[in-house]
Structure 1
């Protein structure tokens, strides 16, 4: 260990000693209860020293001690911040289990302290940890975050979480749940008028998802509802009308040609993967094969 890190570790130990002194009580000194806030501050300083010395295990431990001390003093916001710091260090160490645990605990503390937005942001980080390893759990976390941001009137965050929930449900073949999430984002965009250009894209998304369920009637109803907020002559409306008509005709060549239009090719990857599986109503469906696990390697191919 080099001299600089030795100094940092020695400084951390000094901070720990100070923290422990703050937690002691003494009748002689007329100190009848621990000074949790001061102890938490010293543990936090020790965590920084250990982190700078590349001793991540000890840094994480110190952040947990700091969070516990803040919790004992009733300072839940700073308790949450220490939990979040422990989560990020756990992630850097490759300890995904503790990273998730601490981040969820941080989110709960933020919410309890009255900071719904900070709680949602912590859940956002937790969900990102899980998207690839446990998408079902990630959906659950994003739904929890969505409930929180609805209370804060943060329209962009509502759209972001709804979009992630939709994409993950698509990945799992849960098209009904994906439709609900897209509808939530659509309603948010139309109510707040914050992203009018997104409304057309979401209309295409809803039509594709209904066609993935082989329900062209529901696709038509969804398009009719969306047209209340779109120019009837918009390219998205024209394309979606054509998609439904050609799908019902069973002309798969014409259907595939429509799916290759620039509007469709500019959609998110999950939709591009879905379009690769879609066939017109009279053709053999590949969506069922996808949901049953067949052609999984083909499904994972990035089309962009």
Structure 2
């Protein structure tokens, strides 16, 4: 069987790793680098053989060897692989602690993006079965993003924190998380994102049974976000077209001017312009085609 051969190959790599860790009269210090490499090779063999527990054990030993050798980045990568193996095994018990350890190692090596990424990865795995642990991982990821002044990512993680609080019926904490996210978007002047958040905050306050707080939230933030929809009548679109068509125009510039005018006035999510014009050079002379449009 191919799986048996892979297991035997993996065990051979484990023996080589253990030899590298032994010390003697002429070898005072274990060869952690070679041991880590052998443990990684063994983990690959065990994974191919679907012997996931042995694979996990080897990855943990590889991480420890990298740590002893001061290769914290590679130790964190080994823990990252270990989290994936735990997911395949359906064993969620150690994922939280491994994600926190790996994130700390990535940060110490100047890789905050990798730290946030592994925390998010672990949180997604734990979200359905262990929401409280996922919640704490998202909080940690949001803190790292804010320290790095990555406001977009901080807002994304804070939004996931708020969603999990609502799922756990922790409405007070959910309201606090939504306010933090509002503060992040307000600092970045992301007005369009604020409207959705204000509605969410109002709904959370209503879920708490606090009508006064819901009304206060709407009054406080509703004026900033301009929640009242802006509507343009059909005649206004005609006036916009006439305003920009009074002078000699190019088709591309003309369309762009209309789009910009509508965006600034109504602030919709999207604008589409269908442009149709008559080619006078073809209708007045030459082939004199009556209906030639573009």
TM-score using structure 2 length: 0.70
CA RMSD of aligned residues (A): 2.3
Measure how far apart 1:232 and its partner are.
6.2
Partner of 2:216: 221
Partner of 1:59: 55
Q: For the Cα contact (< 8 Å) 1:100–1:129, is it kept in 2?
A: no
Q: For the Cα contact (< 8 Å) 1:104–1:126, is it kept in 2?
A: no
Q: For the Cα contact (< 8 Å) 2:195–2:222, is it kept in 1?
A: no
Closer/same/farther in 2, CA of residues 200 and 24 from structure 1, 3 Å limit? same
Q: Give 1:191's match in structure 2, choosing from 187, 193, 196.
A: 187
Q: Give 1:211's match in structure 2, choosing from 203, 206, 209.
A: 206
Partner of 2:65: 69
Partner of 1:137: 133
Measure how far apart 1:169 and its partner are.
1.4
Any gaps of 5 or more consecutive residues in structure 1?
A: 236-304
Partner of 1:42: 38
Aligned positions, number: 230
Deviations 1:246-294 (A, max 9, x none): xxxxxxxxxxxxxxxxxxxxxxxxxxxxxxxxxxxxxxxxxxxxxxxxx
Deviations 1:218-254 (A, max 9, x none): 333322332454236436xxxxxxxxxxxxxxxxxxx
Closer/same/farther in 2, CA of residues 134 and 5 from structure 1, 3 Å limit? closer
Partner of 2:106: 110
Q: For the Cα contact (< 8 Å) 1:44–1:62, is it kept in 2?
A: yes
Partner of 1:19: 17
Measure how far apart 1:46 and its partner are.
1.1
Any gaps of 5 or more consecutive residues in structure 2?
A: 231-294
Q: Give 1:8's match in structure 2, choosing from 6, 9, 14.
A: 6
Paired residues for 1:238-257 under 5 Å:
none
Identify the range of structure 1 (106-115 vs 177-186) with the bigger mean alpha-carbon deviation: 106-115
CA distance in 2, matches of 1:134, 1:11: 36
Q: SS state of the match for residue 93, structure 2?
A: helix
Q: Give 1:127's match in structure 2, choosing from 123, 126, 131.
A: 123
CA distance in 2, matches of 1:134, 1:57: 21
TM-score using structure 1 length: 0.68
